[in-house]
Amino acid sequence: MCGITGWIDWQKDLTQYPSFLERMTDTLADRGPDASGTWITQHCALGHRRLSVMDPENGAQPMVRKYGENTFSIVYNGELYNAPELKKELELRGHRFSTTCDTEVLLVSFIEWGRACVDRLNGIFAFGVWDSLEQTLFLVRDRLGVKPLFFSYSDGRLLFGSEPKAILAHPDFPAQISGEGLAEIFAVGPARTPGHGVYRNMSELKPGHCAVFDHNGLHIRPYWKLESKPHEDDLDTTAERIHEILKDTVIRQLASDVPICTLLSGGLDSSALTTFAANYYKENQTGTIHTYSIDYVDNDKHFKANTFQPNSDAPWIRRMTEFLGSEHHFLEFDTPELVESLRTAVFARDLPGMADVDGSLYLFCREIKKDATVAVSGEAADEIFGGYPWFHREEALNAGTFPWSLATKDRVNLLAPDFVNWVKPEQYVQERYRQALSEVPRLAGENEQQNRMREMSYLNITRFMPTLLDRKDRMSMAVGLEVRVPFCDHRLVEYVWNVPWELKTAGDREKGILRRALRGVLPEDVLTRKKSPYPKTYNPNYLEAVRKWVLEILNDSTSPLLQFIDVAKIRTLAEGDASQFNLPWFGQLMTGPQLFAYLAQVDTWLREYKVSIR
């Protein structure tokens, strides 16, 4: 994995501004700690930071290839899991390769097939290719948006980068936010509307989209989207097909020239991926798989089961490590480092995020990076297979808003009245919700329940899943760890999208079809374990620490946060009982302590990034 950035400008000779490009590239050093490269011509400047995973000796970027009279240059962040097949096909077409890295395969694919090459790619990627003859830049992001890509377009100039920080490093791009961006922070956040960069004049290239920038401007189009069609397979065939795709995906994603491991919680998703990986290692005699898990000091004393987190992971992790014989690493973090990680997480995201859910993942990845460069993780299974509680609760299904964010009114009640009148956060959320529903690809003949479950699946795949993928990418790449997510293989997503809800819940269980697909792979008790999300701390010291932090902010008249919140109400909450936020206000894990932590992150972001309101 890597970090990419670029600057195309028809008004300037970019060879006169090498320091600008170096500054933009340097901001991505954490994503690519192994090497750095830049490439500049009159109107195109490309920068790259490299995390070496495949062919460390020969995969330097920007990669440049001459082809006839033309010169093509690429910067690329990602992994192509079908690179071997593509390479063989390209060799049959007469191409020769000088490296074993997938960057060259990708560049030659573009040379051979042009922009249509994206339809052939299986992987996670964000890349830009400059065509010197046509004077065009082609930008692409993978189908599910596993790899990030942001851009800013104005007055004949295009800036792009893996993270906002690369664009913010350009001296002509100020850190500003409008009322709409503030609505994203205080009403939609920590999620983001697809395509929204939050910063003024910054956008995100949406998943499954590509863009062409030339002298005629910027032209963006989707190259992939979910398509609804009748599902013809019966229950057993469906389960077999899911098993087949998932196993193939995991094996493809084990390709690496550096150490690889898996993240193991003892739940259905991570246990399945780890088992496929462990079995592959055994069959190929490539050693013992290393597994990692996260927990918190004294969590065993303070954990209380609830509807959103019914059981702790520790016993299940032990069950799986004994079953697999993996080399397991239990990692545990204490409150002080968790609180400190809240600040670090802001710099990793360039925005406030999922509070300690972000910060703990950063700490987790930082420790894993000491031993491994690549990890496999179970993200996206719940969105694709319908595993979250809100898929199965009438109050969430009928709420008329995003089901992971049911407390918008409570959140708005804590904001300053003048600010609410300006940005109208409740109306903003409703507008975004209606926009999402208008995109759903319907299937003729479905009844009301089937139609609603298709809507729910679409909302989760296109609105909730990107939040978790953003989190996984930023926190892992902030320490130079590449995380792969097999459940995001587009073949699996396309297939499961059209599996009827009654099959997805086979056996009257959430993710029933996945459980059926994994019969004979996992122990029966793990196969039937009730879903429990990524663990969070229940240590009361954490609540006290973030409560104290928020009170310090409230007592600081220079705090940029104060203009947006109802100070008196937040103070009452922080000094008294935060029980009104005992139920999640976002996702499954963000309750009272995470509310205080989120506000602290907003304050940190506004201060440290010197964000101005426009």
Active-site annotation, residues: 2
CA–CA dist 185, 298 (Å, integer): 32
Q: Which two tokens stand for residue 343?
A: 């600040």
Q: Which two tokens stand for residue 282?
A: 């055994």
CA–CA dist 543, 565 (Å, integer): 20
**Over the range 151-172, which residues count as b (16 or more CB within 10 Å of their CB) and which as e?**
bbbeeebbbbbbbbbbbbbbee
Give the residue from 362, 376, 310 showing the smallest Cα distance to 479: 362
DSSP assignment, residue 565?
B
CA–CA dist 407, 305 (Å, integer): 22
CA–CA dist 598, 381 (Å, integer): 26
Give the residue from 209, 49, 71 showing the smallest Cα distance to 129: 71
**Over the range 329-367, which residues count as b (16 or more CB within 10 Å of their CB) and which as e?**
bebebebeebbebbebbbbbbbbbbbbbbbbbbbbbbbb
E strands, 475-579, are 482-484
Q: Which two tokens stand for residue 77?
A: 């962040």
Three-state DSSP class for residue 285: coil
Residue 210: enclosing H or E segment and its boundaries?
Answer: strand 209-214
Give the residue from 435, 510, 444, 12 showing the smallest Cα distance to 268: 510
Three-state DSSP class for residue 552: helix
Q: What are phi and psi of 45, to 5 degrees?
A: -130, 125
